[in-house]
Structure 1
Amino acid sequence: MRKLTYFIAVSIDGFIGAPSGDATAFLSFVDEEFFEFLKAEYPETMSTNGRQPLGIDDLENRHFDTIIQGRASYDVALELGVPSPYAHMRQYVVSRSIKESPDPAVEIVSGDVVAKVRELKAEEGELGIYLCGGADLAGQLVDEIDELVIKTYPLVLGSGMPMFRSDFALGEFTLQSVRTFGNGVLVRKYDRKP
């Protein structure tokens, strides 16, 4: 069975962005050391339009071959005129408001997202599924998440968009690794506790 991994950037106080969802404050922490880590370990999490100018569009996917994201996350790409932001993966966008996909490589999921994720997880394959946010989608899929990769940036936002918007429920995970960077970023990896 394939894993669903919530690969997410957060502030020290657990927010993935400002109340509006804007997460540009995190970009200043993508220095040379951290970029080299992302390029080596998680190249597929960089958007296609970001990979091409950097000359790294030929990097193979290491962890994921499928991405699922919410409409607000997808809107960021659409506002830049990029209807297929992760062309190097199968792309799913969860939305009830987008009736027709603006790109044939992007499938719109308007029905039962949990059922769709379970279908994707049941497929054969070594690579998993990248949950790209946001808080509402992560809240809907909290019970389906097998792994968390949390990039914690040394910022306190005070308020904003949480990692999950869901009802209170305990979900236990086991810490697998922690990597620290000179700029103060931590990358923690957790597996769901059986």
Structure 2
Amino acid sequence: MRTLTYLVACSLDGFIGDPGGDATSMFRYLDEEYLAFLTGEYPETVSVEGRRALGIADAPNKHFDTVVQGRGSYQVGLDAGVPSPYGHLREIVASRTLETSPHPNVEIVSGDLVARVRALKAEDGPLGIWLCGGSGIAGTLIDEVDELVIKSYPQVYGAGMPMFGGAAFAVSDFDLRDVRSFGNGVVVRRYGRVR
């Protein structure tokens, strides 16, 4: 059984973006030390364009072979003219508004996303599935998340897009597996779900 990992950047108060979904204020923390960690440990989470710019275009996938994201997250790539932003992964986009895929590598899921993710998790393979975002998709898939990798940035938003938007109240327990802190104040925590 493959795992679904929600690897996400958030503010100290648990927001992944401002009320409109913008998280560019977090980009200022991409210094040399932190970027070396991200590209070394999670190279597959860097977009195709980013991988080229950073000289890691051919870096092997270490943790994931599939990415799941919502239309809002995917739209960032479309707006930049990149219809397959994670072409080194199998791309799944949950959308009720995109009727056809703009790229052969991108599968549009307009129906039961939970069922599609369960099918992905049931596949054989050594690598897992990265839940990229956004908030609403994470809320829909909250019960399917096996692992959390939370990149906490030293910012407080006060309001914005929560990590799990639209999810009903329910307590889910996770065990802390790893913590890594950086000189810029970023802390990366990895948790596994307690089943």
Shared fold (TM-score, shorter chain, > 0.5): yes
Offset from partner CA, 1:73-100 (integer Å, 9 cap, x none): 0001100000000000000000010000
2:156 pairs with 1:192: no
Q: Partner of 2:16: helix, strand, or coil?
A: strand
1:85 matches 2:82? no
Q: Give the aligned partner of residue 158 of structure 1.
A: 158
Unaligned residue ranges in structure 1 (runs of 5+): none
Per the TM alignment, residue 55 of structure 1 is displaced from its structure 2 partner at its CA by: 1.4
Q: Quick one: distance in 2 between partners of 1:60 and 1:104?
A: 21
Q: What is the one-letter code of the residue matched to 2:69?
A: Q
Unaligned runs of 5+ residues in structure 2 are none
2:127 is equivalent to residue 130 of structure 1: no
Identity fraction in percent: 61
- Looking at structure 2, the residues matched to 176 and 133 of structure 1 have their Cα atoms a distance apart, in angstroms, of 22
Following the alignment from structure 1 to structure 2, what is the Cα–Cα distance between the partners of residues 121 and 108? 17
Match of 1:174 in 2: 175
Q: Which amino acid aligns with 2:91?
A: Q
SS in 1 for 2:68: strand
Q: Match for residue 111 of structure 1?
A: 111
| CA positional deviation for 1:19 | 0.3
1:53, CA displacement in angstroms? 1.8
Q: For residue 78 of structure 2, what is the amino acid of its counterpart?
A: L
Q: Structure 2-normalised TM-score?
A: 0.99
- State the Cα distance separating 1:49 from its structure 2 match: 1.1
Matched, 1:46 2:74: no
Cross-structure match for 1:183: 184
For residues 139-180 of structure 1, what are the alpha-carbon distances to aligned partners after superposition, in whole Å with 9 as ceiling and x for unaligned?
000000000000000001111000001111111111111100
For 1:184, what is the secondary structure of its paired residue? Answer: coil
RMSD: 0.5
User: 1:43-81: per-residue Cα shift (whole Å, max 9, x none)?
Assistant: 000000111122110100000000000000000110000
Match of 2:3 in 1: 3
Q: Secondary structure at the match of 2:133?
A: coil
Counterpart of 1:151 in structure 2: which amino acid? Answer: K
User: Matches of 1:185 and 1:148 in 2, distance apart?
Assistant: 16
Deviation at 1:129, TM superposition (A): 0.2
* Runs of 4+ more than 6 Å apart: none
